[in-house]
Structure 1
Amino acid sequence: MDTDDNQAIQYLEGLLGRAFRVHTTDSRMFVGIFKCTDAERNIILSSTYEYRFPSPSAVQAAASASQETWDEETVKPPSSSVKVHMTSRLIGLVVIPGRHITKIEVE
């Protein structure tokens, strides 16, 4: 192994046990503790939560509900942004295939 390989290994070892946010091609996000990776860039996370962005229909329903609750006597019209929460569930231990990873963030 050369110096670059050793530095890469040391860098990855320094990330073990850190909280990661991993975004995937299907727009899900996984938040968990980094356990390992391999040559194919697969990542294993433990204590992982999966987050899903709301569907377009859920966003549209929230926007419609926001518009309906606006009272015409109110001085300010409703804002152009609507808050819709992501859904989440506990996964536990998960392997995320490297080919589906779009972004990795270290918390």
Structure 2
Amino acid sequence: MEGQGSSPDRDEAAEFLRSLLNKNLRVTTTDERMFWGQFKCTDPDSNVVLSHTYEYRQPSVQKRVEGAVQTAEAGTVKLDMTSRYLGLVVVPGKYIVKMEVEEFASQMRHGPIRPEVVL
């Protein structure tokens, strides 16, 4: 382990985390819950603090089967996730499977992505 001094990788990581402050994140956990809220901070154990957070859960297996049977005639299956407002939460890092930043093109640091024109 390196000393407590600054290194390019540490500086880059810190800058990246700063760029995420107050942005909406979707954090998926090992039990398939998804938390959606504003990123406030993290710690050395990779715990993530979110504010104004909603929790979304997959429907139970029974509801998934019932929904599939009801909509099978239409050729599509649509299942609604249940949700509830939690407020300020700490998501333990050891249970985080995936984190996604919700960012629209107009919010991106370098502006919207423009497709290349090929002649």
Q: Which has the higher contact order (CA 8 A, sep 6+)?
A: 1
Q: Deviations over 1:43-76 (max 9, x none)?
A: 0000000000111110111123335xx5xxxxxx
Q: Tell me how far apart the structure 1 counterparts of residues 82 and 96 of structure 2 sit (CA, whole Å).
A: 20
- Pick one of 34, 51, 61 that aligns with 2:39: 34
TM superposition outliers: structure 1 runs of 4+ over 6 Å: none
- Pick one of 21, 25, 50 that aligns with 1:20: 25
Q: Tell me how far apart the structure 2 counterparts of residues 63 and 8 of structure 1 sit (CA, whole Å).
A: 44
Corresponding letter in the other structure for 1:106: V
> Aligned runs of 1:6-85 on 2, under 5 Å?
6-66=11-71, 70=73, 78-79=74-75, 81-85=76-80
- Unpaired runs of at least 5, structure 1: 71-77
Q: Tell me how far apart the structure 1 counterparts of residues 21 and 70 of structure 2 sit (CA, whole Å).
A: 44
**TM-score, normalising length: structure 1:** 0.85
Corresponding letter in the other structure for 2:9: D
Q: Tell me how far apart the structure 1 counterparts of residues 18 and 36 of structure 2 sit (CA, whole Å).
A: 19
